């Protein structure tokens, strides 16, 4: 009985995490991220062309790592956030190599804004 309850709990948590993330569709999520970066940082078409593969790869890697964590049964929200933050820092380092110094400052502000919005969404759950 406990095993069934545990399995149901894990299934519900996995499903709720999918629905809790706006736009669970990877292509839509990628598009939103590229559009957000373009708008917030004032990217040129050339810069968009250069950052798109970086952001795409980062999102794919993050999705794979999170799936591994869920499949292994080690669904630890704090660990996932720590991993997400680490991966975001690595991605931002690659992005900053393409951006102007002013855009790099704007990127930092944009990431801070995203973190604040995420924190508000987490409090509402």
What is the residue extent of each domain of the chain?
Answer: 25-123
Q: Is the pTM of this model over 0.75?
A: no
Give me the long-range contacts of 94-103 (CB less than 8 A, separation at least 24): 94/54, 95/37, 95/51, 95/54, 95/55, 98/47, 98/50, 98/51, 98/54, 99/41, 99/43, 99/47, 103/41, 103/42, 103/43
Q: For residue 124, which phi and psi values (nearest 5 degrees)?
A: -80, -10
Q: Flag whether pLDDT at 22 surpasses 80.
A: no
pLDDT digit string (tens) for 76-86? Answer: 788 888 888 99
Report the C-alpha gap between 80 and 123 in whole angstroms.
17
Cα end-to-end distance, the chain, whole Å: 28
pLDDT per position as a tens digit, 50-88 = 999 999 999 999 999 888 888 888 777 888 888 889 999
Asked whether 54 and 91 are in contact (CB, 8 A), the reply is yes
């Amino acid at each position: 009985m406990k095993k069934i309850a545990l399995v149901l709990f894990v299934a519900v948590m996995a499903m709720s995490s999918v629905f809790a993330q706006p736009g669970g569709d990877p292509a839509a999520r990628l598009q939103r991220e590229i559009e957000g970066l373009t708008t917030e940082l004032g990217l040129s078409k050339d810069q968009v062309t250069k950052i798109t593969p970086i952001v795409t790869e980062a999102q794919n890697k993050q999705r794979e790592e999170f799936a591994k964590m869920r499949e292994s049964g080690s669904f630890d929200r704090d660990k996932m956030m720590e991993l997400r933050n680490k991966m975001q820092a690595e991605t931002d380092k690659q992005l900053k190599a393409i951006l102007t110094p002013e855009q790099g400052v704007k990127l930092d502000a944009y990431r801070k804004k995203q973190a604040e919005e995420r924190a508000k969404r987490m409090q509402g759950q």
